[in-house]
Each structure stands twice: as structure tokens, then as C-alpha cells.
Amino acid sequence: MQADERPTERDLLAAAVRAAGELALKTFRGPMRQWIKGKSSPVSEADVAVDALLRERLGHTFPAHGWLSEETEDDPRRLAADAVWIIDPIDGTRSYLDGRDDWVVSVALASGGRPRLAAVFAPVTDEFFFAVAGEGATCNGVPIEVGPGAGLEGAKLVGPKRFTDPLAELDPSVVSLPRIGSLALRLARIAQGQVDIAIVSGNSHDWDLAAADLLVHEAGGRLTDINGDRLKYNCPQPVHALLVAAGGSRHSSVLALVQEREARFI
């Protein structure tokens, strides 16, 4: 094979994430070993198997890239890498174990603290989201974009009730949607216009967010912290506080309302 015929990062990412989703489907709704890590986070043998597949397909192919996965012991060498794979083998493990369809495989490649490639695959519904920085976002190859609108009127929102209930009270046309088990999928729904506003409570991690973050921004939306700043990835502690995601025209007004509510509790 000639050098210019070698698969690109984006080609290998797409193929690896599809293969990972297919692997997870093999044990979906079947008996499997599962356990709890930390205080309450479920893990299954499927999470571990998918992580291993992605490590083989991506980590071994690009050994110079760092690796940050929910299911792999953290390696601090990632902090010095020019690029890092950020992996959630199964985002929405509770949904996966309960036999629901709202779980995904989520992978991003980040450089300089921001994602530049992203793939989020929902195998049960066969939705494959993909984004390249500066080139837009797609679902199953079709371009997607955030929904229209600049305020709360008619907005569909998901998030903690302590935020969604007050927002819904401000406008009777606001629709509070049921919780989506996978955080990455919640944000992908913003990118494709099925959800207009998502509030993300604290303690989310890089692997929950990085791929979906790129989807949202490439689809014309914004995902920021409570100060309105974009997220930075591959830091020593890959944990994030309260976040707001919405279409680009709607984000500032929603952020102001969330900031006002937070100020009441300080």
C-alpha cells in the first residue's frame, strides 16, 4: 500500500466505532457479568470488551496519541501528547443493562484541549453521528443542524428538574422531555434539532462530553460552562461542573436564566 493510500484517522475512527457498536449489540439484552465501580457507577463485561476493541483499533494504530477512557486506568502520559483519544465504550451503561435503546459508543480525538474528530454511534436505533472540526456534523451521512429559535418559546429541554421546571414555568410552551440515559446522546439530540436545550449537572467527564461537544458546535450550537466558556479537554482532572447546551441563537438567553438561578443558591 502506498503511503497516501493509508487509512486516515477519520476513516479508522468511523470503522472502529461501528465495530464497537456491533460488538456491544452481541451481548445486549443477554446475560452478562456486571459490577459497581466507585460508589454507584455500573460496569459490565461489554464495557470492558468494547474498550479493548477500540484500544486495539485506535490506540495501537496511533501509538503516539494519548488515551483517556472511562474503562482504562488513567495514564498521565496523555497530558504531554499532541492528540488524545477520549473514549466512552458504552455511554449510558444503565440503559444498556436495562435493555433500553438510549446508549451509545462515544469517541473523540482532541488536540490542544478541543475535539477535532468525533463519532457517536447509537447501535439499537442505527444512528451514526460524525463530525470533523470545521466541516460540519452528520447523522448517517446526512448533515444535521440545531433547531431554530432564540428564546424559550416552544423549546424542548432535558436536564435536572431543578433547572427544567423553573424554565418551563417561564413559558407555557416549553416542553420538558424524558431523561435520555446517555449524556452523549442527549447532546447529539441538540445537534440534530430534536432537543433545543440541555442542562448538564456537575461531575460529567471528558469521555461523556468530548465527541458530542464537537457535534453540537459543528451543527451550529454551543456547549459551555456556566461562565459561557467552551470546555477544555485532556486536563489532569477530566471533570466538569454545570454546563449548558443549546442552539447558537438560544444559548445566551438560556445561559443567563441558568446563571440567575444558580446565583440564588450562592
Which of the four pLDDT bands, split at 50, 70 and 90, describes residue 132? very high
The domain 156-263: what is its CATH number? Answer: 3.40.190.80
Beta strands in 112-183 (DSSP E): 114-122, 127-132, 137-139, 142-143, 156-158, 175-176
Which pTM value belongs to this model?
0.95
Task: Indicate the SS3 state at residue 246.
Answer: strand
**Which residues of the chain does CATH 3.30.540.10 include?**
3-143
Q: CA 159 → CA 43, 156, 173, distances in Å?
A: 23, 11, 17
Give yes or no for residue 3 having a pLDDT over 70.
no
3-143: CATH topology is Fructose-1,6-Bisphosphatase; Chain A, domain 1 (3.30.540)
pLDDT digits (tens, 9 = 90+) for 92-128: 999 999 999 999 999 999 999 999 999 999 999 999 9
**Which residues of the chain does CATH 3.40.190.80 include?**
156-263
Which of the four pLDDT bands, split at 50, 70 and 90, describes residue 2? very low
